[in-house]
Structure 1
Amino acid sequence: MSHRPSAPSPTPRRAAPAVLLSGVSLGVALALSSSAFAVEPAGEAASAQRQVMAFDIAAQPLDRAALVFAEQAGVQVFFDSARLQGFRSSALQGRYSLDDALRRLLDKTPVDYHLDGANQVTLTRRVLADDQVLQMQSVTVEGRSLSERQETYLQPRSVAVIDREQIDRNPPRHAADLLEQTSGVYTAVSQQDPGLSVNIRGVQDYGRVNMNIDGMRQNYQQSGHQQRNGTMYIDPELLSNVTVEKGATSGMGGAGVIGGVAEFSTLNARDFIHEGKEFGGRVRATTGLGGYANGTDFIGSSAFALGNEIGDILLAASERHLGDYDPGTHGSIGELRTGSAGNPEIEDRIKTSPVAYSGSTMRSRLAKLGLNLAHEQRVQLSYLRTQVSYDDANIMDVADEDLWEKLGSSNVVSQNFAVDYSYAPDNPLIDFKAKLYHVDTRNDQSTLTRGTTLGYSTTYQTDTYGLQVQNTSTFALSQVSILQADYGLEFFHDKVSPESDQAISSSSAVDYPFAEGMTPEGSRAMGSLFTRLDYEYDGWLNLNAGLRYDRYHLRGETGMNTRSFCTLEGACSNAQINVPVLYEVDREEGRFSPTFGLAIKPGVDWLQLFASYGKGWRPPAVTEALVSGRPHGGGTETLYPSPFLEPERSTTWEVGFNIARENLFLAEDRLGIKAAYFDTRIKDFMFLGYGLQRPGYSPIATLGTTAYVNNLETTRFRGVEYSLDYDAGGFYGNLSYTHMIGANDYCKRAAWLGGVESPVYGTGGRRPPIIGMEPDEFSNQSVNCGGIMGTAEHMPMDRGSLTLGARLLERKLDIGVRARYSEGYSLTHEDEEAQDMTYPADWKPYTVYDLFGSYQATDAITLRLAVDNVTDKAYLVPLGDVLAFTLGRGRTVQGTLEYTF
């Protein structure tokens, strides 16, 4: 077998297994029993050996590793795949000569290599004890590497990758558009707010999902009249891919996580340069076309990279200028929340009116400096700055002439600083990585005067300091079994620092304004020790087990006013008075969380069955425990603190299967299928409840009394996910679908802090005097169900997407269509469920069609055209921000010019 690469790989990123042709099995065993031996080359081959090249090849079956090696080294590799079955390569990361790279790749396998000229390598099995050589036949084979997205169909867990190819087909206006084609992933998006909040299988907010950029947690949170309690800011122009890990994990990034990890990976210098090319980059510009620009004024970016064996530099910048957009006009957007049941003209007015205050400006700058040190070490410094300006809008009001009301404006600046260090010597016990980072997100927000509430300015700032340390050790237990250990620690510290010029209300129990109290000052630190063991046997069995220990420390001050009665004789007798209650919170707690997994191949290499079980744990965030303010800066609605919240505890089961087939219908085609059933149960789930009773005298529970409480019922998120990826070269298709099952009940103690009291009356007179207070046991023990605010009020609805495309004209022309579907979830005025909800669901079913096309005019110039919502369908974004009433964009046409060098 040989592999002839079309060109050296320009991007030595983490290697994916290559697709093998007919007769090549995917099943492998591992043998790391002896050292590789090389025949000394001479002449042209010796010169080739001395060239230093960059490699990034994961440990994997040796036949696949040989094909990836051929791609990255730009050489032909000859071998017989049948003779390499049962052997596994060592990991190869760093810059090496051809000779050193082959030695490391074949380390401890009974396989020799021989350089035949400058660009050919032959692999052979070593001479056996009886002096008989297993001679290899040289069979010429064209191999193609799997993309990172396609590689997910070989991994025995629920993971998804959104690669640059998917991002480029239909350039996203909002970062949430990136995730629409990924099963199990939703976004509680408002098109009037560029912030992104990721929902995985119904779980989101307050760090339940670890949203990070290059591993740096984006823990910024700002309370307000919206349903996203945790947002991040990222321009898709600067991304290389997005990886979504679903469920609890015992690996890096899993501290305090019960929903999953969404990692947004930015561009690297090696995306544009490679051996023999020390300078490269890309310039791209997108704009709306014709009468269907629909607010897409300009989206553009540039990236420049320079590097050699010493190190590399990347500089990149992006701009995003968007205006107000028009919603779709065909179809119904619902009656319950538009108020159009009795007046159809209201819906027509909404659909023919621009979505005001949906424009924004985003500017991002990215810089990375990497240095390759001696002894297989590397240090990288990185900096990412994103600045976003946009207007804050109120809920759509059909009674208002302008539909939308401007509340104020926001200017967000998010800065990410990181230092990365790696050490990967020629030792299977050491693959060490460390990261030190700081994320500073700041929103300078101005609020306009509304009614009797004067305008004011507030700064909300969250600083996150993080440390990550991890090592991977690989142990060869026998020729057919291997044990891999991943272990390390993770630490991050969130510091929340609000500041406002709003006057302190005389009714406030604390010495800060209501605006500050909505996202209160405080800090939370979390440390985590973790380890995970993976055992592989004979290519068909994988067992894994992990254990994590998390510990958190929450600090801050908060308080509220309670009510009582004046019991003094005289003018104040029987009068109600405010009694301030202050809490100095200093809580610390820890917990162990195990995970287990099993994967088998039941007699065929293309089918893999997997199952997993995992525990998760999430303690309360700063805002959940310490909030004390009013969402509008005034009025009667008040959020109260909950300093005694119990941490959430999750248990997740998952069963599924992978199918990975090659040459199924046509030569060199590839099929990947992943399906999984998941069931996540959360005890003490925290939600924002209303209708509560404060401590002290509180005769009634009101809508305006809200606080974060623990659900007394088990909160459950379960469903089935499907993903399919087929690629035959000349044409391809992708399918994803998510089916959620069931609904949740939310029950809480009305007196969430206890301490409700009733007056004790004396004797005498027409109005007996109040002589004291006594516990109100009925109120203190009362349990109420319902009364929840936030996205958890609604279970995510079924959603899917289908993409079909073709590559024509020697694959220079790529055209296709995408369909996005939502089953919807609608209620009527008569539904009891609607009557119990604060914001009843009314998402109509819809199918939206998009077109895309690209043409590679030259090696350097690519032209792209995208038409979103071809039929101008009217719809509401599924699970979109309920309060912002997120209308889907109408027909939008965008054109892109890209120049690479």
Structure 2
Amino acid sequence: MSALTKGRITGSWLALAIHLGLLAVAAPVHAVEPAAGTAQSAVLRFDIPAQSLGSAVLAFADQAGLQVLFDSQRLQGLSSTTLKGSFGVQEGLARLLGAAPVEYRFTGERQVTLSRVEQQAGALALATTTVTGLHQQDWVYSTPRPVSVVGREQLDRNPPRHAAEMLEEAPGVYSAVSQQDPGLSVNIRGIQDYGRVNMSVDGMRQNYQQSGHQQRNGTLYVDSELLSEVVIEKGATSTQGGAGVIGGVANFRTVEAADLLKGGKEIGGRIRLTSGLGGRSNGTHFIGSSAFAVGTDVWDMLVAASERHLGDYNPGTKGSIGELRTGAAFMPASEERIKHTTVAYSGSVMRSRLLKLGLNLPADQRLQLSYLATDVDYDDVNMMTAEKAQLWEKLGSSDVRAQNVALDYSYAPDNPLIDFKAKLYYVDTRNEQSTLARGINKAYDVTYQTNTYGLQAQNISTFALTELAALKANYGLEFFYDKVRPDSNQAVEAGSAVKASAAESITPKGDRAMGSVFGRLDFDYDGWLNLNAGLRYDRYRLRGETGLNTRTFIIGTTRQIGVPVNYDVDREEGRFSPTFGLSIKPGVDWLQLFATYGKGWRPPAVTETMVSGRPHGGGSESILPNPYLKPERSTAWEVGFNVLKQDLLFAEDRVGMKVSYFNTRVDDFSYMALGVQPPGYGNVNIGSAAYVNNLETTRFRGLEYQLDYDAGFAYGQFNYTRMLGSNKFCSKTAWLGGVTKTQKRPGNRAPVDAMVPDDAANAGVGCSAILGSSEHMPMDRGTATLGARFFERRLDVGVRARYSAGYYVKGGAGVTTSQTGVYPADWKPYTVYDLYGSYRATDQLTLRLAMENVTDRAYLVPLGDVLAFTLGRGRTLQGTVEYQF
């Protein structure tokens, strides 16, 4: 398939003809009639909302499969009209341009040239300037805010096995991954868990959470085979998806019927098969998917399915790995043993099914029903223990099913004031988990289930204030309701304040609803100045029951008794959060400077507030609730610049660059503190933990670099994230207060006269170890890709390097020192090299080959689970066959 049929837009220097003899009052849009039977006469389906004309032309080129040449500077300040429905290319382009003073000419079967018309003494003249071409994702480098995109091309180069691998080339994005758990938890700039990052599929929030060792408190199950792209918005926003968010939005977009029906086709599809090759398959048994679409002017349908079978894999064998978990400091042989041992229980099976039915209604309306189901089977594993004969111990098995149902409606008439979209959705994620008998604990089954009901609606209105000035208003609402319902056959512990088993109370029953209204205004002047301001109002309600057991003395005796304390939680609160932004182009069209400022607000989740019980069903450890946990409040600012320039080194090459510094401050940051002291009589116990608000300010600061260069015959991408600083976590040891002490007459055996407040204990502050991924700031990391294209760009080969600076504390003799905390930092630096190649044998058939970790480097990914300590995959070779029709 050529670059043209992919809808890729390029640019060059144009010799623009000057059209004389036309009346000054003539209509501004004229076209050269195409020859009969050419591609321009095909009827295509378009869906392009009103927006700036340059962006609209980019969308038009992608949907029409055309090459469009235009002068981006001359189109600045112009707006398009809405284009929705089925039209010929000429009619569609004419409708898109509307009354804009722009002329178009077909200069080839699949090439069209746009030029702005000026009025000069009764004639129409065209100014001749440099023409800038846009690639499909160039909007990232012209958007004055922190955004990143992971496209389908990137996913195809090195097909991911674990979902976290999709995000390795996105700056500022991490994942607390364990290779033995296929779930994905997205970390943006050090912020993750409990909805701080909105992880969504096609805009549907994935709010499933299951308590473990606190490295992942929010999990998404998604198959990369069914995705078209991943769009990542960083920080708080005043647009759709930002309710209750302080870290950002990661939206995983699935394939659409329009992706397979380009070029006016009524039937289209693709089949993609991937497998490990030879002795280097390394657990990659099978990854495959198929998608089929059919469509007419009235309706369309997409049916897609994917399946992946992964087995246990071998880690890399070269280089040093962590010492604290492996025991290499005092057992040197253990490091080699771990590197040369297959990672047990890392296999999994994932099956996904996708159905989308679309209906194009009269008056520019569209209705779409979609259903996505993903099933995952995998084993639950205990932490690695280097001292034992078996490194990992199986604890049980998990059978996860995530179902997503959505009804989408859009109304986009030929009116710049209306571009309306609404969504009603339902997400049901449940894990039917079987736990094996272990020690004194009996086997049991538990079902963790989270149901999310959601509603979204927004409209975009564009006002042309003058020929050079435009105002865009984006306003709407969103609502979601989480219903957490665990169920287990595990016995309830005798005397428990909460009438639920340990398995249920650790991920407790509860309900949380959140509603949000938002609005954002963007003022654009002549393409060089943009001012924006937004305001969001969030309101939440949290309901449930929880409790804990306390101790006291029977007055007049020396005997202690247990006293259960129950809390009926019903909390409601709201808050306004503003955002502001400014961007300018300082005299050159290819450079954009920007700055943003915004506030965010995240109320506590069900688990943070009402978790209780013994996490292992017995022992001295206790997780205690905090019904008074405060919402988190964030304040973030960012400065940076974008570069988008063509003809830099070669004719028709292009470079995109985004560099920014970000600084996010979070007040009342919630974390799980160890060594807390519950109400009543007693002492601090290191085994007692509860979610508390940090008394210190929590900061997440750093620098992001993103570069994308393409000269056609060669290309390169680079991204790097540099995190700065560290955090201190302090809280009141008696987080609920109510600690008491005895008042009695002298003598060890004297009876207790009264229980009085222990003022010293109630006022005490602790800055000890915490349990969770926020214990350490994410480490610096980056990727670099270099590639080249041959044989009319049918052959594409390249190399990718992945680097992590690591994070660990160095002691004497080069040994990692002992550290406090459940998750001591133990990530060693590494560089991993990957090779890839693809050959487009025909316009329908593409063959791909990829080798991961060519040097067989042993490594643990940044923020990787240091308890499970599942090293990254060793040298792996896999091949892919893709057929499109």
Q: Same fold (TM over 0.5)?
A: yes
CA deviation digits over 1:842-864, x for unaligned, max 9?
11111011111111122221111
SS of the residue aligned with 1:574?
A: coil
Matches within 5 A, 1:321-400: 321-400=309-388
Counterpart for residue 743 of structure 2:
760
SS of the residue aligned with 1:671?
A: strand
C-alpha distance in structure 2 between counterparts of 1:786 and 1:369, whole Å: 54
Counterpart for residue 55 of structure 1:
46
Say whether residues 1:147 and 2:139 are aligned partners. Answer: no
Say whether residues 1:774 and 2:765 are aligned partners. Answer: no
How far is the alpha carbon of 1:726 from its aligned partner?
0.4
Counterpart for residue 20 of structure 2:
none
Paired residues of 2:267 and 2:293 also in contact (CA < 8 A): yes
C-alpha distance in structure 2 between counterparts of 1:115 and 1:621, whole Å: 56
Paired residues of 1:336 and 1:828 also in contact (CA < 8 A): no
Deviates more, 1:77-86 or 1:209-218: 77-86
Paired residues of 1:226 and 1:881 also in contact (CA < 8 A): no
C-alpha distance in structure 2 between counterparts of 1:120 and 1:865, whole Å: 32
Paired residues of 1:35 and 1:107 also in contact (CA < 8 A): no
Say whether residues 1:106 and 2:89 are aligned partners. Answer: no
Matches within 5 A, 1:18-417: 18-22=9-13, 52-57=43-48, 59=50, 62=53, 65=56, 69=60, 72-73=63-64, 86-98=77-89, 100-111=91-102, 128=119, 132-136=122-126, 145-148=134-137, 150-417=138-405
Paired residue type of 1:793: E
CA distance change for structure 1 residues 192 and 125 in 2, over 3 Å: closer, same or farther? closer
SS of the residue aligned with 1:887?
A: coil
Deviates more, 1:456-465 or 1:446-455: 446-455
How far is the alpha carbon of 1:88 from its aligned partner?
3.5
C-alpha distance in structure 2 between counterparts of 1:340 and 1:48, whole Å: 66
How far is the alpha carbon of 1:99 from its aligned partner?
5.5
C-alpha distance in structure 2 between counterparts of 1:639 and 1:648, whole Å: 21
C-alpha distance in structure 2 between counterparts of 1:35 and 1:462, whole Å: 61
Deviates more, 1:82-91 or 1:765-774: 82-91
How far is the alpha carbon of 1:507 from its aligned partner?
3.4
C-alpha distance in structure 1 between counterparts of 2:335 and 2:37, whole Å: 75
CA deviation digits over 1:294-332, x for unaligned, max 9?
111111111111112112111011111011111111111
C-alpha distance in structure 1 between counterparts of 2:840 and 2:166, whole Å: 23
Counterpart for residue 882 of structure 1:
866
C-alpha distance in structure 2 between counterparts of 1:712 and 1:402, whole Å: 42
Counterpart for residue 800 of structure 1:
782
C-alpha distance in structure 2 between counterparts of 1:408 and 1:81, whole Å: 59
Paired residue type of 1:656: G
SS of the residue aligned with 1:652?
A: strand
CA deviation digits over 1:104-158, x for unaligned, max 9?
3222323466899998978676684x7611244999x99965122x321111111
Counterpart for residue 851 of structure 1:
835
Counterpart for residue 650 of structure 2:
666
C-alpha distance in structure 2 between counterparts of 1:433 and 1:652, whole Å: 29
Counterpart for residue 545 of structure 1:
533
CA distance change for structure 1 residues 47 and 387 in 2, over 3 Å: closer, same or farther? closer
SS of the residue aligned with 1:703?
A: coil
C-alpha distance in structure 2 between counterparts of 1:752 and 1:477, whole Å: 55
CA distance change for structure 1 residues 247 and 24 in 2, over 3 Å: closer, same or farther? farther
C-alpha distance in structure 1 between counterparts of 2:695 and 2:258, whole Å: 51
Counterpart for residue 28 of structure 1:
none
C-alpha distance in structure 2 between counterparts of 1:107 and 1:620, whole Å: 48
SS of the residue aligned with 1:702?
A: coil
Mark the runs of 5 or more structure 2 residues left unpaired by the alignment: 17-24
Paired residues of 1:366 and 1:384 also in contact (CA < 8 A): yes
Paired residues of 1:37 and 1:103 also in contact (CA < 8 A): no
CA distance change for structure 1 residues 884 and 805 in 2, over 3 Å: closer, same or farther? same
Counterpart for residue 607 of structure 1:
591
CA distance change for structure 1 residues 340 and 46 in 2, over 3 Å: closer, same or farther? closer
Paired residue type of 1:134: L
SS of the residue aligned with 1:478?
A: coil
**CA RMSD for the aligned pairs?**
2.8
Deviates more, 1:113-122 or 1:152-161: 113-122
How far is the alpha carbon of 1:701 from its aligned partner?
1.0
Deviates more, 1:226-235 or 1:202-211: 226-235
Structure 2 counterpart of 1:451, from 426, 439, 448:
439
Say whether residues 1:742 and 2:725 are aligned partners. Answer: yes
Counterpart for residue 791 of structure 1:
773
SS of the residue aligned with 1:739?
A: strand
How far is the alpha carbon of 1:759 from its aligned partner?
1.3
CA distance change for structure 1 residues 505 and 137 in 2, over 3 Å: closer, same or farther? closer
CA distance change for structure 1 residues 142 and 451 in 2, over 3 Å: closer, same or farther? same
Counterpart for residue 21 of structure 2:
none
Counterpart for residue 724 of structure 1:
707
SS of the residue aligned with 1:381?
A: strand
C-alpha distance in structure 2 between counterparts of 1:678 and 1:83, whole Å: 33
Say whether residues 1:485 and 2:473 are aligned partners. Answer: yes
Paired residue type of 1:132: G
C-alpha distance in structure 2 between counterparts of 1:760 and 1:506, whole Å: 30
Paired residues of 1:269 and 1:313 also in contact (CA < 8 A): yes
Paired residues of 2:590 and 2:643 also in contact (CA < 8 A): yes
C-alpha distance in structure 2 between counterparts of 1:152 and 1:120, whole Å: 24
SS of the residue aligned with 1:835?
A: coil
CA deviation digits over 1:721-775, x for unaligned, max 9?
0000000111110000000000000001000000000112146x76111122100
Structure 1 counterpart of 2:553, from 538, 558, 565:
565
Paired residue type of 1:643: P
CA distance change for structure 1 residues 168 and 275 in 2, over 3 Å: closer, same or farther? closer
Paired residues of 1:485 and 1:534 also in contact (CA < 8 A): yes
Say whether residues 1:714 and 2:697 are aligned partners. Answer: yes
Paired residues of 2:71 and 2:131 also in contact (CA < 8 A): no
Say whether residues 1:733 and 2:716 are aligned partners. Answer: yes
C-alpha distance in structure 1 between counterparts of 2:68 and 2:667, whole Å: 55
How far is the alpha carbon of 1:506 from its aligned partner?
0.6
Paired residues of 1:8 and 1:73 also in contact (CA < 8 A): no
How far is the alpha carbon of 1:898 from its aligned partner?
1.2
Paired residues of 2:12 and 2:133 also in contact (CA < 8 A): no
Paired residues of 2:71 and 2:132 also in contact (CA < 8 A): no
C-alpha distance in structure 1 between counterparts of 2:12 and 2:724, whole Å: 40
C-alpha distance in structure 2 between counterparts of 1:639 and 1:767, whole Å: 33
SS of the residue aligned with 1:701?
A: coil
C-alpha distance in structure 2 between counterparts of 1:833 and 1:650, whole Å: 34
Say whether residues 1:594 and 2:595 are aligned partners. Answer: no
C-alpha distance in structure 2 between counterparts of 1:290 and 1:74, whole Å: 39
How far is the alpha carbon of 1:373 from its aligned partner?
0.8
Paired residues of 2:521 and 2:534 also in contact (CA < 8 A): yes
Deviates more, 1:410-419 or 1:506-515: 506-515
Counterpart for residue 426 of structure 2:
438
C-alpha distance in structure 2 between counterparts of 1:115 and 1:824, whole Å: 54
Identity of aligned residues (%): 63
CA distance change for structure 1 residues 225 and 49 in 2, over 3 Å: closer, same or farther? closer
Counterpart for residue 854 of structure 2:
870
CA distance change for structure 1 residues 193 and 108 in 2, over 3 Å: closer, same or farther? same
C-alpha distance in structure 1 between counterparts of 2:161 and 2:874, whole Å: 12
How far is the alpha carbon of 1:100 from its aligned partner?
4.5
Paired residues of 1:624 and 1:641 also in contact (CA < 8 A): yes
**TM-score (normalised: structure 1):** 0.92
Mark the runs of 5 or more structure 1 residues left unpaired by the alignment: 26-33
Counterpart for residue 815 of structure 1:
797
